[in-house]
Amino acid sequence: MTSIGSFDAGTNVKFMVHHGLYCKMIKNCGTEIHNDALMRGVKCQDLGCFALTELGHGSNVQGIETTAHFDSITKGFVLHSPTTTSMKFWIGNLAKSCKMAVVFANLILPSGKNTGPHAFLVQVWDTIDHLPLPGIEIGDCGEKIGFPHIDNGWMKFNKFWIPKSSLLNKLADIDDNGNYTSPIKSKGKWFGMLIACLSGGWVNIAWITNDCSALALKIAIRYACSRWQFGSPEKLIIDYPLH
How far is the C-alpha of 102 from the C-alpha of 55, rounded, in Å?
A: 17
Rounded to two decimals, what is the model's pTM?
A: 0.85
Residue 43 lies in a domain: yes
Same domain membership, residue 223 and residue 193:
no
Backbone φ, ψ for residue 6 (5° rounding): -70, -20
pLDDT, tens only, 93-141: 999 889 999 999 999 999 999 999 999 999 999 988 889 999 999 999 9
Same domain membership, residue 114 and residue 221:
no
Residue 1 lies in a domain: no
Look at residue 200 and tell me whether its pLDDT is greater than 80.
no
Which residues span the domain enclosing 192? 7-201
